[in-house]
Amino acid sequence: MSRVPPILLASNSPRRKELMGWISLDFSVRAVDIDEMVLPAEDPKEYVARLSRSKAEASAKENPWRLILGADTTVADGNEILGKPLDRIDARRMLSQLRGRVHWVHTALTLIDGTNGRRVSELCSTPVEMRDYSDAEIETYLDTGDPMDKAGAYAIQHAGFHPVVNMAGCFASVIGLPLCHLVRGLRKLGYDGLDTVPVTCQQNLRYDCPVTQQILNGQ
């Protein structure tokens, strides 16, 4: 086992950048452009897994880097993928569709080791129960502009809207990067020195995660 080398994060997400900044790993950010259209008959898990691989692979072609990380997150209502809203009307539709119900957030990540070509992919799927917020609350949230760059048109961590009433899975994954899955993937590639990551994640999120050990144990 060896220490984690500098990571190139192939993402322009400020939320992933923030999460990576919590865990004391050396990293840089360089987004890549890929086609994010959903393929015919592609389900949400297949979709995010493919995009995470595509981001990592595109970055690996462009950058001679030791370790590359690609990730993608989507919100799914059944098999319907709710991406970033096209406009305010689309964001309103998504928020109205999700309220008072349980949906799933899927985040996939792919690591590519540039020294030997080895790669690891991980997928985290989390059920999320939304509260029964009002139409007026939706409009107030839309006025902030926050929904427009978010899959499903919401941020779980938004203090003003606080849309989620119950969530018993990986909080970090819903934000955009499941850090315990990142640890698991890095360990598969032969890296160590990651024992503090789960504790740091929970401290920053102020969340007592019920699935940390299951994830780290490979479940």
100: left (phi over 0), alpha (psi -120 to 50) or beta: left
Catalytic residue among 72, 113, 132, 135: 72
Query: Which residues face 68 on adjacent strands?
Result: 8, 112
Q: Is 72 a catalytic residue?
A: yes
Query: How many angstroms separate the CA atoms of 160 and 138, rounded?
Result: 11
Q: Which residues are catalytic?
A: 72
